[in-house]
Structure 1
Amino acid sequence: MNAHPLAAVLSAYEVQEQWVRRSIALVPCGHAFAAVRMPTQLVHTAARTREPEQVRIYLTHTLHGPVLTDRTTHHHYALVPPNTPPIESHPNTRYLGTNAYLGLPRPDLTHPTTHHRCHWIIPPNGQRLCPPEAVSALLLKAAG
């Protein structure tokens, strides 16, 4: 549990408690990580596919850090370092830093299910986060 990005913000007990109750932990951004919210369609445009496994492969090779998706709102979230300047190079993206919260699914939720609205496309792997330049490059590719 200590290797998860939540560890620096919430106690292991708080995280587990939220995951047990709701399978998602609501975490403040801007401390252990920030996030960039991107429309799913934008990610599909950059990846040049809508096929989930191909999108996962593309994001793994492009962003090199944790990415989750919310199928209800049709957004992807790339977790970036907390000191990242706001990345909003596309009008439909939003930088989530201090004063924002993000619901992070349990680490084992790595595939869509009928019971969970969010899952990890790329689950957290230690303290590694998406490099901001990689997120910016994805957004530029989608816009171009």
Structure 2
Amino acid sequence: MDESTAPAGATAWLADADPRPHKVWAEWEQHGVALIPLGRRFDAVRVPAERMHAAAGSDTPRTVADALRSWLEGPVLRDLRSSLGPYYVLIAPDADWGGPDDRLSTDVFLGVPRPGHPTMLTRWIVEPQAPGHLCDPRYLRALLATADPLRTVGR
């Protein structure tokens, strides 16, 4: 993604997840990625790449992005430091998760790229579209419920 589809308000909302939003803006300016504390504005569910690709039925970036955009209707990041880098699905801090994948929350910091500015470390797969608009964990559970049967069929 070379151009941001995220409205400026959504980008500011991400920065405001840190009690010192100016620090986030400075990190974005210097590094393209800011460490943002979870548990205040959003949490993240860490999903292994293999599981997400099985659920999407592909490991092709465009296909995965289209599947996640259509299923989750909310922001998703991916750690690009390796080909096995996990996906991070952003959900509300008070949302009921209960799924098998790790929920990251209070006392955890997530490397978040500035929307519209991909980096070598991480990038938005689905950018945030409005302040506070996050993924519904029910949709994520439904999507991931397809991963195990599809992985079994592929063997």
Q: Structure 2 length normalisation: TM-score?
A: 0.80
SS in 1 for 2:116: coil
> Considering only aligned residues, what root-mean-square deviation do their CA atoms show, in Å?
1.7
- CA separation in 2, counterparts of 1:62 and 1:28? 26
- CA separation in 2, counterparts of 1:95 and 1:81? 11
Q: Map 1:98-109 onto structure 2 (within 5 A).
A: 98-109=106-117
Is 1:95 matched up with 2:95? no
* 1:143 aligned residue: 148
Write the deviation string for residues 114-144 of structure 1: whole angstroms up to 9, x where unpaired: x521000101111210001011112211123
* 2:129 aligned residue: 125
Q: Letter of the 1:13 partner, please give it.
A: H
* Offset at residue 71 of structure 1 (A): 1.6
Is 1:9 matched up with 2:14? no
- CA separation in 1, counterparts of 2:68 and 2:47? 13
- CA separation in 2, counterparts of 1:44 and 1:38? 10
Is 1:80 matched up with 2:88? no
* Offset at residue 15 of structure 1 (A): 1.9
* Offset at residue 64 of structure 1 (A): 0.4
* Offset at residue 97 of structure 1 (A): 1.2
Whether contact under 8 Å (2:43, 2:105) holds in the other structure is yes
SS in 2 for 1:126: coil
* Number of residue-to-residue matches in the alignment: 137
Write the deviation string for residues 36-71 of structure 1: whole angstroms up to 9, x where unpaired: 000111111001111111111000000100001012
* Offset at residue 95 of structure 1 (A): 0.5
For structure 2, list consecutive stretches of 5 or more residues without a partner in the other structure. Answer: 1-7, 150-155
* 2:57 aligned residue: 48
Q: Letter of the 2:33 partner, please give it.
A: I
Q: Letter of the 2:138 partner, please give it.
A: E
Greater displacement, 134-143 / 17-26: 134-143
Q: Letter of the 2:130 partner, please give it.
A: G
Whether contact under 8 Å (2:42, 2:92) holds in the other structure is yes
Larger radius of gyration, structure 1 or 2? 2
Q: Structure 1 length normalisation: TM-score?
A: 0.86
